[in-house]
Structures are given as C-alpha cells and as structure tokens.
Amino acid sequence: MSAARVVITGTGWITPIGQDVESVWKALLAGTSGMGRITRFDAETFATNFAAEVKGFDFRSLVPDADDHADCSLCAKFALAAAWQALRQSGLRQSQGFNPRRFGIYLGSGEGPPDTENYFRPHLEGWNDEQKKLDHPAWTRSAYKNMRPAVEIEQEANMTLSHVAWAMGTRGPVGNCLTACAASNQAIGEAFEILRRGEADAMIAGGAHTMVHCLGVTGFIRLTALSSRREDPTKAARPFDQTRDGFVMGEGSGMLVLETLEHARARGATILAEIAGYGSSADAFRITDMHSEGKGPQAAMAGALRQAGVQAREPGPDGRPQIQYIAVHGTGTKENDKIESHAIKQVFGPMAYKIPMSSIKSMMGHLIAAAGVSGVITCVQAIRSGRIPPTINYNVPDAGLDLDYVPNTARTIQDENGRSLIRACLCNAYGFGGQNDCLVVKAFEG
C-alpha cells in the first residue's frame, strides 16, 4: 500500500507578538519585536533581564471549558489556546463521521514552569521571611497542609499533552517528545509518519513551552547562550549579524491539524499546505555544541528533501531553486548561525545563494520546544501569501555568513497578478543534545 499524502488543515499560534495566526503574521511582516524587560519574576540582578513574553494572555476567553484546566501549567494553557484555534479552523470536529479513535496527537512540549506558591499555597499571612526562619517547622507544616497535589503533577512534561488530548477528544495515537529546540519539528514529523502509515486519519501536532522563569533563564545564562544586551532588548536578537551575542528567550505555542489527503478531501476541508518530507538525525557529538561541519543538520535537511522529491542543487522548470524559502533555526548564537549557514551551503551547493531565508527568532525570541512549529506556520503563510518575513537587527555582515538572510524588511515573491511564487519551503530546527529535525512544506497541488 502506498504511503498517504499528508496535508495541513488548521493552524494556531500563541506568541509574544500576537495570539492568533493573522496578528502574528502581520507583526512578522512588519518586523515587530516582542522583546522587553522580564515581568514574570524579578530579574534585575541577572546578566539577562529581558525576554519575549506572551503579553495580555486571557486563557478563559481563548479556551472553552477553561475551568476544567484551571490548575494546568502556563505551558499547557498556551498549548490549549493554540490547539483550539487550529481545530476551529480545520472544522474537523464538526465534520460528518468524525471518529475520535482515528484522531491522534503528537506534541513537542516542555515541562510546566516551577511555581512553588501554586504547589503549596500555604497561608502566608503572618509568615514573613524572618518568622519563617524562627519557626520553620511550623511554616513547613502549614505549607504541607495546604499543598495541592493535583498541581504538583503539572510540572511533568506529559501533562500538556494530556490536557490537549482531553480537551480535543483525541483517542487515537498519542505521543510527546522533548528534544529541546527541535521538539515540535520532530513532533510534526512523527505525526506525519503516523498518518502516512495509515494509523490515524488526523493528528494535532506542534509544541508549547515557556522557560521564562528564574531556573530557565539562569540555566541559559550559565550556558552563555543568551544575549546580554540589557540596554535595548528589542535590538538584542541579531541572527547572522557579526555582533550577535546569543538568543533571547521566548515562549508560546504553535499547533497544526494534519490529515491524510483522502480524509481531508472526503469531508471537503480547506487545505492550507502539504507536509512533503521529514528528516531527522542526531549529532552524537557534544551535548551543547554542534559539530563544526554541521553533519547532523546536513543529514536531516538531505533526508527531508529526499523524501519530498526535491533536488537541492538542481533548478526547477522555471529556473529557480526547488526550495524557495528556508525558515532557518537562526538562534543568534555565534556557533549556530555559522554552522547552519555552512550546512545549508553543503546541502544546496551554489543554489544556496539564491534561496531567501530568515529567522523569526529575531522578533518573537526562541520559543524552545515551540520554535520548530513556528517555523512551519511561517512556511505555510509564506506559501499562501508570497511574502517572507525579515531577519531584523541585521546590520553588520559576518565574514563567511553570506547567504540571503532577508535583512530587516519583508520580501514579496509574487507573480504579476499577485499570486504567490513560493511553492516549497524547508523548516530547520536543531536542539541542545544534538537533535536535528527538518520538514519540507509544499503548496498543495491536487
């Protein structure tokens, strides 16, 4: 039996620059930065006291039956909001003959942020810091008495998956991976393979994460991965620029509804794009360093292109590259940008110089486990609109980083009638630990 084709019928997005696909896309094309001082906790003594936070997030207005998920983590709340957007757009649940046993979910989701006050919620009145020190056993008994066990389990990485499955009514295949910054690309790729094998008719796939808390920010500072440009956070994220000094932490969620083409057609769904190829590899090199030749990223890109039937080094019938846009990982660290650029050149050869590519992390920050799916949604929007978002804060070219990074201003790639000329895109995502996952997204052609 031949493998099924897999299409996208719904998208949802919660990000620091917008809380639905339309507003996020508008902000990306305008080059809007979502960075600012951290408000979630007091970070003024930290080397990096800024991030890209989701602002004005109203969980109850975005999620039906929000009370059923009142104790879930912020990560799960972002995921629920994005998943409901994608499900509504797809119209899947309302379609005749909907079968929840053929409806699955695969997420790349992070652990819930630690929140000691929510875990214990002791009666704090009368318990200032000095009194806690003087009578710590009594304070501990009070904290234990008021501990909420149901909230304790929300720190587990699988709980975001559980909440979304419960809310969406997905009773088919379920899975979650936390392969760092590659997680949601891998989740989409694995959901894609489940559908290709015929094990489900539809899948929710994507990711959600927030590490904008004291432990998350401290850890990345210790790894020297974060920018420390405290004087102007909006200009701190500088992917591919010679003056880059690290990424800016972001947070949020992106979700897709994927279906087999046969299932989508049978119910008359609107098809947004097609997932055509998935490549995955491991560096097996170092936990926090990429191989200097980018061998893992090269293998993942080549695998995705091969499965999609795309010739990296050959022009298409119109003389243009067969990939017209790359949503690069583009973190803004010295190592990633240099090695990713080198890997793209190795895969595409001279054609690499003709392909526009950009990093939306320059605007929304690094969404960690939700970074990959954000790149995929960017590819979907680029295909449908013929517009490419820029890499902002790119002002000083770096020697050897000489590809087309679409600096500072969005680009239009349309024909004389305003129709998109972007037919195929590549989305890259790489994570600490050496995970590399790449996806080819194509315009749907019946």
Which domains occur in the chain, in start order?
A: 6-112+156-442 (3.40.47.10), 117-150 (no CATH)
Residue 11's alpha-carbon distances to 45, 224, 237, 298, 404, in angstroms, are 38, 34, 26, 28, 27
pLDDT in tens, the chain (446 residues): 689 999 999 999 999 999 999 999 999 999 999 999 999 989 999 999 999 999 999 999 999 999 999 889 999 999 999 999 999 999 998 887 789 999 999 999 977 666 544 444 444 455 566 655 556 677 677 767 766 677 777 777 789 999 999 999 999 999 999 999 999 999 999 999 999 999 999 999 999 999 999 989 999 999 999 999 999 999 999 999 999 999 999 999 999 999 999 999 999 999 999 999 999 999 998 888 888 899 999 999 999 999 999 999 999 999 999 999 999 999 999 999 999 999 999 999 999 999 999 999 999 999 999 999 999 999 999 999 999 999 999 999 999 899 999 999 999 999 999 999 999 999 999 998 899 999 999 999 98
Strand pairing class (357-358; 325-327): parallel
Give the residue from 87, 88, 97 showing the smallest Cα distance to 266: 97
Selected catalytic residue, list 366, 379, 425, 438: 366
Contact 357, 199 (CB under 8 A): no
Helix (H) or strand (E) holding 174: strand 174-177
Strands (E), 186-263: 202-210, 251-260
Q: Is 403 helix (H, G, I), strand (E, B) or coil?
A: coil
pLDDT at 158: 86
Alpha helices in 349-420 (DSSP H): 361-364, 371-385
pLDDT at 117: 45
Q: Tell me, what amino acid is at 146? A: N
Rounded Cα gap, residues 183 and 96, in angstroms: 33
**Which DSSP symbol is given to 199?**
S
Alpha helices in 69-171 (DSSP H): 74-90, 116-120, 129-134, 136-145, 149-152, 159-168
Strand pairing class (36-37; 435-442): unpaired
Task: State the CB neighbour count (10 A cutoff) for residue 340.
Answer: 27
pLDDT at 269: 96
| Residue 366 a catalytic site member | yes
Residue 445's alpha-carbon distances to 375, 379, 383, 427, in angstroms, are 21, 16, 12, 20
The length of the chain in residues reads 446
Rounded Cα gap, residues 33 and 362, in angstroms: 7
Intra-chain end-to-end CA distance of the chain, in Å: 20
The burial of 222, by beta-carbon neighbours within 10 Å (0-12 exposed, 13-18 middle, 19 or more buried), is given as: exposed
Rounded to the nearest 10°, the torsion over CA 139, 141, 142, 147 is 120
Rounded Cα gap, residues 49 and 214, in angstroms: 10
pLDDT at 98: 87
Contact 136, 221 (CB under 8 A): no
Selected catalytic residue, list 329, 342, 425, 438: 329
| Residue 213 a catalytic site member | no
Residue 327: both structure tokens together = 């949503």
Q: Is 409 helix (H, G, I), strand (E, B) or coil?
A: coil
Task: State the CB neighbour count (10 A cutoff) for residue 283.
Answer: 21
Task: State the CB neighbour count (10 A cutoff) for residue 119.
Answer: 17
- Residue identified by tokens 């149901």 is 150
Selected catalytic residue, list 177, 181, 379, 427: 181
- Residue identified by tokens 């409901």 is 84
- Residue identified by tokens 């910054």 is 181
Specify the pTM. Answer: 0.94
Contact 310, 225 (CB under 8 A): no
Give the residue from 358, 295, 286 showing the smallest Cα distance to 329: 358
| Residue 181 a catalytic site member | yes
Contact 263, 201 (CB under 8 A): yes
Give the residue from 317, 341, 318 showing the smallest Cα distance to 328: 341
The burial of 97, by beta-carbon neighbours within 10 Å (0-12 exposed, 13-18 middle, 19 or more buried), is given as: exposed
Rounded Cα gap, residues 312 and 335, in angstroms: 24
Beta bridge partners of residue 208, listed in sequence order = 109, 253
**Which DSSP symbol is given to 110?**
P
